[in-house]
Amino acid sequence: MSVRAGSSLATAVAEYAADDARGEALGTCYRQVRDATRALAAPLSPEDCVVQSMPDASPVKWHLAHTTWFFETFLLESRLARFRPYHPAYRVLFNSYYQAVGPQHPRPQRGLLSRPGLDEVLAYREHVDRQVLDLLAGQRDDRREIAEIVELGLHHEQQHQELILTDVKHLLAANPLRPAYRPATPITPASTGVPQRWLRFEEGLREIGHPGPGFSFDNERPRHREYVGAFELASHPVTNGEYLTFIEKDGYARPEFWLAEGFGTVCERGWRAPLYWEQRDDAWYVMTLSGVRELVADEPVCHVSFYEAEAFARFSESRLPTEAEWEVAAADAPLDGNFVESGRLHPAPTSSRRHPPQQLFGDVWEWTGSAYRPYPGFAPLHGAFGEYNGKFMANQMVLRGGSCATPRSHIRATYRNFFYPPDRWQFSGIRLARDARS
Amino acid sequence: MSVRAGSSLATAVAEYAADDARGEALGTCYRQVRDATRALAAPLSPEDCVVQSMPDASPVKWHLAHTTWFFETFLLESRLARFRPYHPAYRVLFNSYYQAVGPQHPRPQRGLLSRPGLDEVLAYREHVDRQVLDLLAGQRDDRREIAEIVELGLHHEQQHQELILTDVKHLLAANPLRPAYRPATPITPASTGVPQRWLRFEEGLREIGHPGPGFSFDNERPRHREYVGAFELASHPVTNGEYLTFIEKDGYARPEFWLAEGFGTVCERGWRAPLYWEQRDDAWYVMTLSGVRELVADEPVCHVSFYEAEAFARFSESRLPTEAEWEVAAADAPLDGNFVESGRLHPAPTSSRRHPPQQLFGDVWEWTGSAYRPYPGFAPLHGAFGEYNGKFMANQMVLRGGSCATPRSHIRATYRNFFYPPDRWQFSGIRLARDARS
Amino acid sequence: MSVRAGSSLATAVAEYAADDARGEALGTCYRQVRDATRALAAPLSPEDCVVQSMPDASPVKWHLAHTTWFFETFLLESRLARFRPYHPAYRVLFNSYYQAVGPQHPRPQRGLLSRPGLDEVLAYREHVDRQVLDLLAGQRDDRREIAEIVELGLHHEQQHQELILTDVKHLLAANPLRPAYRPATPITPASTGVPQRWLRFEEGLREIGHPGPGFSFDNERPRHREYVGAFELASHPVTNGEYLTFIEKDGYARPEFWLAEGFGTVCERGWRAPLYWEQRDDAWYVMTLSGVRELVADEPVCHVSFYEAEAFARFSESRLPTEAEWEVAAADAPLDGNFVESGRLHPAPTSSRRHPPQQLFGDVWEWTGSAYRPYPGFAPLHGAFGEYNGKFMANQMVLRGGSCATPRSHIRATYRNFFYPPDRWQFSGIRLARDARS
Amino acid sequence: MSVRAGSSLATAVAEYAADDARGEALGTCYRQVRDATRALAAPLSPEDCVVQSMPDASPVKWHLAHTTWFFETFLLESRLARFRPYHPAYRVLFNSYYQAVGPQHPRPQRGLLSRPGLDEVLAYREHVDRQVLDLLAGQRDDRREIAEIVELGLHHEQQHQELILTDVKHLLAANPLRPAYRPATPITPASTGVPQRWLRFEEGLREIGHPGPGFSFDNERPRHREYVGAFELASHPVTNGEYLTFIEKDGYARPEFWLAEGFGTVCERGWRAPLYWEQRDDAWYVMTLSGVRELVADEPVCHVSFYEAEAFARFSESRLPTEAEWEVAAADAPLDGNFVESGRLHPAPTSSRRHPPQQLFGDVWEWTGSAYRPYPGFAPLHGAFGEYNGKFMANQMVLRGGSCATPRSHIRATYRNFFYPPDRWQFSGIRLARDARS
């Protein structure tokens, strides 16, 4: 059985907050999300779970512990009268960046923690889970507060589910043996090359941001007005085949396509192709979570930086959409696609059976041309939760739509993801836009 | 006599482009701007002009040569049938970042060029000036093209005039002797503490960007619609006195006010105050272009990074204005203030005699909360000129309004300046904004 | 039963090389050394074995694999007609620095290898061990060559045994939980402060270096004449108590005691005490392989760099011995002391029951004042073995005598160990010397 | 007129110390050395004198000031009852590394000091010179102390004379214009390829180090016994032609010739030839103090690091001499050669007219295989002078013999120069040695 859809969680949260009788449904949601995290670690050895392959990535074990720390610190500690920490050192070890909670073990040193071992971390998870479920099952008059924290904690956990996959992929790709995370699932027949089309959207004063009710992160709020001019959006993401043309036309060596810092990064790091691409005897291969295999031309290009996305767009005489444009286009799109639940763990070719715009959700996160800054009227959550999103609103760009590593119940049209322009280890791809011809 | 106002240049350009008889007016404008550059170097020794105090700054001599290279490369080389370069190596040495022109001497090595000497660079200037003035005086049927290049080149030159001052200030401040660039001009009596007020602006769909005709950089165009909610803007920039409160309340040590990267920068670089502030025996002093003197509480705070501006705003329970808000507020403001022509070369206290908002122009560049990205419909200029602005549209924030080092004729309400969030060596200050209470 | 003494190995090697009948004794030696390596990893989890705590240190798993690679590459590959590699990728993955063998997995990335897992590496060890033992048991006419490679490989393995301990100590000390490698063995009663004495050695033309026969590394050869003036040597290593005086007299802040680069290192890295010392509430604690415990004044100071050793010597108005002086003093000393076999894994106080000089062997490696350079007439071994020692003869200093982590059968009076002046993670200590008063 | 020979200075010092009447001779020596320094700066512009091309190099202006600071601080301040500093800030600005004197302006920031200007520094020199000459002319009862300081100061000044040339060469070579320091002097006809010969030296117990009386640095003392085995020394330094063979045989790409750190340095910095060599259209050119010219095969190779010297020696199946061997060979050699006074400022081919060993002195410093460590019994000078040499005795290698940039009166057979193994900007070359065949 798959993880319950976001709407189920929302329902369970609302019911729990409103009515004493339904702790069970929220408990079930809780258990499902937590189990899904643990299931992601199942194919991995303790050694796979401890190594940190770069400062930006975290060890899987750290993800397992930190998501637990989140519930322990923000739920148990704040709500249990007789709270006792599972281990006093964990408060620091597994604090990611919450200054309001206190000091943090330095991020680049997360990979030095051979202890606690994976089994100890799993025991920590079980201990906290038991306490959370007990709490949810009990009589409480702070059910609204509890519900909010559990809901945030579960969405937080889902973010780390995706990070577990991207961080493990980075680790395995750094190993010359190129080991697989798990065997490939049978691949659906490749598309026969569904052609790109331009879809037109008319100008207008739009409402952008999460309308409520239901869960959203603080950075999606408040819903506000934004004027959006007429534009056209590509019917589906840029494919490997299209991107190969850019490479073959020497795109990585032609500064005219690039932002200055983008070209600087290309030169400094010697980029010649997306991350995880390998050229052998004139053929292109790509590292996936199922090991290395030949590049498939019809699949969406993936693991490109914002710089590459911008350069490809300029090469294509178009541009990236703004996040408002993307949201306008996605507002009425059905929330389905190739998510983590498909088990594919890799973007899939466009299906001709769907109505365009295709693949807005799932497959690859789509870089937008918008810097990650607060919406007008933005107010961060109170206390430590205010550090969740707001303090990262500089130097990053917004991505939209989720990927093949995102849980289906986690994504929505208003969801704002954000990474640094040179980042490539996420499942990040490109959708083109252009000004509408009048 | 001061440099001619921007409108004079615009008139001269328009006349020259349209009508054979008026090369003289444009030549006069040309000569005035070029002379102003050279005058800025006059108080400096050859040694002052050769040193590069950090990779972000350039030697004054390099500025003198590069602005000349600009006219030689873009005007003489492209317009003169029998063009001969003044020195073949200069094409590379004094190319800043124009990939379309060819390779560039590496930026961090500009300070290694003890040769050509200052006198040789001044001779280079004279040579090119003579050729440009000859060109302007002659019969041409490409007057429109020439006019555009000259106009762009003179605005370019004015940008470097400001950089000469900020870069020299950085150099002199790095010298333990703290030498003065030139003696202080008599200071107008300090204000008696004009109080901050909040000025309200109503919501609406606004036109933002340069309307034309007249000169603007490509990044100010096209004029486009933007929805701007109701907001309030501070009547004048944050003062040293106000900023001192932030310091005294331990603002630099309290992460709750800071963007994560801002606080990281503070810790890493040991920031405790704005750049050029020095504390001795519990009193604060500040390095100016006239040497070190005591801090004046009523002057606008200056040489703060975007990070500090944001942190101060959060400390003050307000925020930075967006660039659209700033432009709405400035649209009708008179274009006067404390510019480079005042000779003060330092921000001045608010005068109670002016109508608020005060000091929108001049004194200090004001950090906005807007990332430097293209306007909807943005099209860079053709050819190498397209590299002037567009390729820097990542990771930087917009500043508005000009400073005490900006030529008066160079600034306008739609002008977009941009620097990196940690940059502090420009005359950059803070103006607060907040959402309007409904 | 402990590892056989070096003499036993030498005997077994000589017998095997000379006489067809004795492969068994050499096989027993081989098995004992190999088993000892594996036994060192026994207290560690797979996670402990995979992490690399700094570029200078290697993961335990890598040590286990590399020592196996050594026998596979240099013995099996070169001597077996039908050699087949255990895994083709291992040739690169576990090559440390032998350019003659081919490319190497980059040293700082050894810690990224979560695969092959510890169990796979142990299987690799077993596979190679089986083949080596079969080879030793079989009829061969290249017994002399085999004997030499096995002997070198076992001494090589013993070096890595020590590195396993020092590298694991570094890893565990980097963990805020400060876990123990294994419980402390009962400590023998502390000395009652055996006082330092100066032992006099007369001047003379000495023979330095390994005289043969028997095993030595190429860097100990040839034995050669060196003139050594009269000198005095301290009777035992500098103690923690003595070193504390240096700290308390502000030694780390007084440049007059330090080499310029030493003081630079102190300032840059913020050194205030030896590595693994921690001060809490005015008491000093020290991290050991059995966890953190209070500092014992009578134990030899340990984990100091050459810079600290030199500074302490200057503070003490003496100097470090040259390696020739050390060897002269050690020539007749009994080869016993606190080695890895004691299980203490930490230096021990001087015993008054021994004849001075005490503790020349075991406890702590003793920094000498001699740079690691070739002896007159030095000739590196042929082929890849020539890379074993010779190519490191720059920028390092010689240490002598072995430590509490050295196998007893591995050390001898002529043994030259070498590390960089700032290195501190080895069990490195200080013995003082001075010119003899005439 | 050239600078007086070292013996003249020694005589003047001895006379002054002994006898009231001869301050004049010492004053003349003083003036000559000081004038020679200033003459070296004469061909340079103020801009040439202020730039610092790398942290290891200093601006010429800084050398001019620091050598003056030396006399002001160590002579005037310590000997004049009514001493008043020329400028209080200079004590810090121009202190190189004397911790006993107090804080120092950071070395990598010497190039930021556009002020004081060159003319001010020259005025500082004149002021101090006047005071020193007055002091020498006056009645004193501390003549011995004064004599010693003046002697040390003048030898110190001569070291900086050489550094002025090497540092300026580095600066000019970093300029794409490759300007000349001064025009080439007419070059004596190239040698017709005097062949290398091996000169044999018998084994023996030798006296090494300065015997006194007369001036020497503390690091040359005490004279002490050292056993030196029989060896052979090349008759003259390795030539460009010989070194080219190493390059053409792919020496820079073959790790078997290199120390591990040497090969690492080669790869990291992309070395393919000595510093200042440039290849254009298959011909080799070399930057000299007279600009770029074609490589002359018979000139000694120059501007190689210790790593390159070692690798070339291994390629040549020989080795570098130890410093004791070098000193044995040089003990009876005439102290003449191509020094700074020749005006050539570049190494010259071997002359067949001289008796081998040729070119031990002058032309190029010769890397030895000896690490720079204290001689047995070494005692640094007292006070701040003790920092002159002793604190640098780590990580550096000894060079011997002086170069074409060394004043003739500055060098002697016992002179120990020292640089880091990767350093190449000195006039450093190679002389080969090998063990004598018995």
C418 Cα to chain A: minimum distance (Å): 27
With both helix axes pointing from N to C terminus, report the angle between C60-71 and C118-137 in degrees, rounded to the nearest 10.
20
Inspect the interface and report whether the beta carbons of D435 and C377 lie closer than 8 Å.
yes
Contact C335, C174 (CB under 8 A): no
Same domain, D167 and D21: yes
Q: What is the pLDDT of residues C102-147, one digit of tens each?
A: 999 999 999 999 999 999 999 999 999 999 999 999 999 999 999 9
Task: Among A301-315, C177-191, C400-414, D64-78, name the one with the lowest average pLDDT.
Answer: C177-191
CA distance D259 to chain C (A): 4
Probe site for chain B from D47, D95, D109, D118 (most B CB atoms < 10 A): D47
- Asked whether residue C403 is domain-assigned, the answer is yes
Q: Do D421 and C394 touch (CB under 8 A)?
A: yes
Backbone angles phi, psi at B310, to 5 degrees: -65, -45
Residues C35 and C136 placed together within one structural domain of the fold: yes
Interior angle at CA C160, CA C154 and CA C166, nearest 5:
150
Does D369 sit within 8 Å of C373, measured CB to CB? yes
- Is the CB of C102 inside 8 Å of chain A's CB atoms? no
The residue among C118, C151, C159 whose CA lies nearest residue C36 is C159
Long-range contacts for B249-253 (Cβ within 8 Å, ≥24 apart)? B249/B315, B251/B311, B251/B312, B251/B315
B178 inside domain: no
From chain B, the residues in CB contact with A306 under 8 A are 394
Please indicate, yes or no, if residue A21 is contained in any of the structural domains: yes
Distance from CA of C278 to the nearest CA of D (A): 28
Q: A33-72 pLDDT, tens per residue?
A: 999 999 999 999 999 999 999 999 999 999 999 999 999 9
Which two tokens mark B204? 């609406």
Q: pLDDT-derived band of residue C5, with 50, 70 and 90 as boundaries?
A: very low
Closest chain A C-alpha to B375 CA, distance in angstroms: 11
Q: Is residue C184 part of a domain?
A: no
Across the interface, whether the CB atoms of D259 and C394 are under 8 A apart is answered yes
Chain C contact for A59, CB < 8 A?
A: no
Q: Does residue A357 lie within any of the structural domains?
A: yes
B219 to chain A, any CB pair closer than 8 A? The answer is no
Say which residue the tokens 């025991």 belong to.
Answer: A123
If asked whether residues C107 and C166 sit together in one domain, one would say yes
Instruction: Please judge whether C394 and D307 are an interchain contact, meaning their C-beta atoms are less than 8 angstroms apart.
Output: yes
Interchain CB contact of A54 with C (< 8 Å): no
- Provide the token pair at D304: 């190689």
Size of interface B-D (CB pairs under 8 A): 83
Query: Is some CB atom of chain B closer than 8 A to the CB atom of D167?
Result: no
| Three-state SS annotation for C335-404 | CCCECHHHCCCCCCCCCCCCCCCCCCCECCEEEEEEECCCCCCCCCCCHHHHHCCHHHCCCCEEEECCCC
pLDDT at residue number D208: 98
CB C377 within 8 A of CB D435: yes
Q: Which of B89, B93, B171 sits opposite D112 (nearest CB)?
A: B171
Do A255 and B99 make contact, defined as CB atoms within 8 angstroms?
yes
Domain assignment of residue D186, yes or no: no
Specify the amino acid at residue C188: T
Structure tokens given for B152: 């762009």
Are residues C256 and D99, on separate chains, in Cβ contact within 8 Å?
A: yes
Where is the domain boundary, A173, A208, A238? A173
Partner-chain contact B46 D48, CB within 8 Å: no
Match 């890893």 to its residue by tokens. C171
User: Quick check: helix, strand or coil at residue A429?
Assistant: strand
> Hey, is the C-beta of A373 within 8 angstroms of any chain B C-beta?
yes
Q: Do A97 and B260 touch (CB under 8 A)?
A: yes
Is A178 among the domain residues? Answer: no
**Residue the block writes with tokens 């720079």:** D372
Residue A286 and residue A415 in one domain: yes
Q: What residues of chain B, 298 to 327, have a C-beta less than 8 Å from chain A?
A: 306-307, 310, 322
Pairing of strands C365-371, C428-429: parallel
Q: What number of residues does chain C have?
A: 438
The residue with tokens 């008054």 is C352
CA–CA dist C230, C224 (Å, integer): 19
Residue A371 near chain B (CB below 8 Å): yes
Q: Helices D6-18 and D23-41: crossing angle, nearest 10°?
A: 140
What is the model's pTM? 0.96
Instruction: Give A308's contacts in chain B (Cβ within 8 Å).
Output: none
Instruction: Sort strands B428-429 and C204-208 into parallel, antiparallel or unpaired.
Output: unpaired
What pLDDT, on a 0 to 100 scale, did the predictor assign at position C4? 41
Model confidence pLDDT, tens digit, residues B105-137 = 999 999 999 999 999 999 999 999 999 999 999
Domain membership of residue C138 as a residue range: 9-173
Q: Which residues of chain B lie closer than 8 angstroms to D174, CB-CB?
A: 109, 112
Could you give the number of structural domains in chain D? 2
Sheet with D397-400, side-by-side order of all strands: D417-419, D397-400, D365-371, D428-429
Amino acid at B294: E
Using a CB-CB cut-off of 8 Å, the residues of chain B touching A310 are 394
HEC per residue, D175-244: CCCCCCCCCCCCCCCCCCCCCCCEEEECCEEEEECCCCCCCCCHHHCCCEEEEECCEEEECCCCEHHHHH
- A225 to chain B, closest Cα gap in Å: 7
D369 touches chain C (CB under 8 A): yes
**Residue in this structure with the two tokens 């299209």, named with its chain if needed:** A242
Q: For D206, which residue in chain C has the nearest alpha carbon? A: C227
pLDDT at D2: 38
**Do A225 and A342 lie in a common domain?**
yes
D160 and D220 share one domain:
no
Structure tokens at A344: 């594919």
Chain A residues inside the 8 Å CB shell of C106: none
pLDDT at B436 over 60: yes
pLDDT, averaged across chain A: 95
Q: Are residues B230 and B300 in the same domain?
A: yes
pLDDT tens, B259-273? Answer: 999 999 999 999 999
Please give the residue of chain C at the shortest CA–CA distance from A117.
C47
Of B93, B125, B107, whose CA–CA distance to B52 is shortest? B107
Whether chain B has a CB inside 8 Å of the CB on D115: the answer is yes
Q: ipTM value of the model? A: 0.95
Is B437 exposed, middle or buried, given 0-12, 13-18 or 19+ CB atoms closer than 10 A?
Answer: exposed
Q: Does D114 reach chain C within 8 Å, measured CB to CB?
A: no
Any chain D CB within 8 A of the CB of C377?
Answer: yes
pLDDT at residue number A1: 31
- Separation of alpha carbons B37 and B53, rounded Å: 20
d(CA A376, CA B231): 10
Residue D14's nearest CA partner among D32, D29, D31, D36 is: D29
Q: How confident is the model at residue C324 (pLDDT cuts 50, 70, 90)?
A: very high
Any chain C CB within 8 A of the CB of A49?
A: yes
Look at residue B353 and tell me whether its pLDDT is greater than 80.
Answer: no
B189 belongs to a structural domain: no
CA angle B418, B424, B427 (to 5 degrees): 75
- Chain A residues in contact with B322 by the CB 8 A cut-off are 376
What integer pLDDT is reported at residue C85 of this predicted model? 97
Q: Is the domain of B166 the same as that of B239?
A: no
Closest alpha carbon within chain B to A259: B391
Residues of chain A in contact with residue B260, where contact means CB-CB under 8 angstroms, are: 97, 387, 391-392
In a 3-state reduction of DSSP, which class is residue A177? coil
DSSP labels, D7-66: HHHHHHHHHHHH-GGGHHHHHHHHHHHHHHHHHHHTTS-HHHHH---STTS--HHHHHHH
For the record, the structure tokens of B381 come out as 């200029």
Domain-ending residue, one of A157, A173, A189: A173
- Let me know whether A72 and A145 are in one domain: yes
Q: Taking the alpha carbons of C269, C271, C274, C278 in that order, is the dihedral positive or negative?
A: negative
C209 shares its domain with C301: yes
- Rounded to whole angstroms, how far apart are CA atoms D256 and C28? 36
DSSP per-residue string spanning A351-387:
PTTSPSSP-SSSSSEEEEEEE--PPTT--PPSGGGGG
What would the pLDDT profile of A180-201 be if each residue is shown by its tens digit?
999 987 666 556 678 899 999 9
Distance of residue D170 Cα from the nearest chain B Cα, in angstroms: 10
Contacts of residue D395 in chain C, CB cutoff 8 Å? Answer: 261, 395, 421
Element (H, E) at B18: helix B6-18
C226 contact residues in D (CB cutoff 8 A): 227
Q: Which of A128, A126, A165 is nearest to A41 (CA)?
A: A165
C-interface mutation test, from D261, D263, D318, D396, most C Cβ less than 10 A away:
D261
Residue D257 belongs to domain with CATH number: 3.90.1580.10
pLDDT value at residue A6: 56
CA dist., res. D418 & res. D407, Å (int):
17
Could you say which of A138, A173, A208 is where a domain stops?
A173
What φ, ψ does residue A231 adopt, rounded to 5°? -150, 165
Q: Of all helices (H) and strands (E), which one includes residue C227?
A: strand C224-228
Spacing of C-alpha C283 from chain mean position: 30
- One domain, residues A214 and A122: no
C202 conformational bin, left if phi > 0, alpha if psi -120 to 50, beta if neither: beta
Return the percentage of chain C with pLDDT > 70, whole number: 96
* Residue in chain A lying closest to C168 (CA): A114
Count CB atoms within 10 A of the CB of residue D363: 31
CB contact at 8 A, B363 and B348: yes
Rounded to whole angstroms, the Cα distance separating C73 from C60 reads: 20
Look at residue B1 and tell me whether its pLDDT is greater than 50.
no
* CB-CB contact of D227 with C227 (8 Å): yes
Confidence of residue B352 (pLDDT cuts 50, 70, 90): confident
| D–C touching, 3+ CB–CB pairs within 8 Å | yes
Q: What is the DSSP letter of D74?
A: I
Residues whose CB is less than 8 angstroms from the CB of residue C55 and which lie 6 or more positions away in sequence, other chains included: C107, C108
| 8 Å CB contact of C177 and A118 | no
Model pLDDT, residue C1: 31
Q: Which of C98, C391, C434 to mutate against chain D (most D CBs within 10 Å)?
A: C391
Q: Each residue's pLDDT tens digit in chain D (438 positions)?
A: 334 445 689 999 999 988 766 689 999 999 999 999 999 999 999 999 999 999 999 999 999 999 999 999 999 999 999 999 999 999 999 999 999 999 999 999 999 999 999 999 999 999 999 999 999 999 999 999 999 999 999 999 999 999 999 999 999 999 999 999 999 876 665 566 788 999 999 999 999 999 989 999 999 999 999 999 999 999 999 999 999 999 999 999 999 999 999 999 999 999 999 999 999 999 999 999 999 999 999 999 999 999 999 999 999 999 999 999 999 999 999 999 999 999 999 999 998 777 889 999 999 999 999 999 999 999 999 999 999 999 999 999 999 999 999 999 999 999 999 999 999 999 999 999 999 987
Structure tokens at D314: 């291994």
Regarding whether C344 and C253 lie in a shared domain, the answer is yes
Q: Under a CB-based contact definition with an 8 Å cutoff, are residues B292 and B176 in contact? A: no
What pairing do the DSSP bridges indicate for beta strands A428-429 and B224-228?
unpaired
CA distance D112 to chain B (A): 6
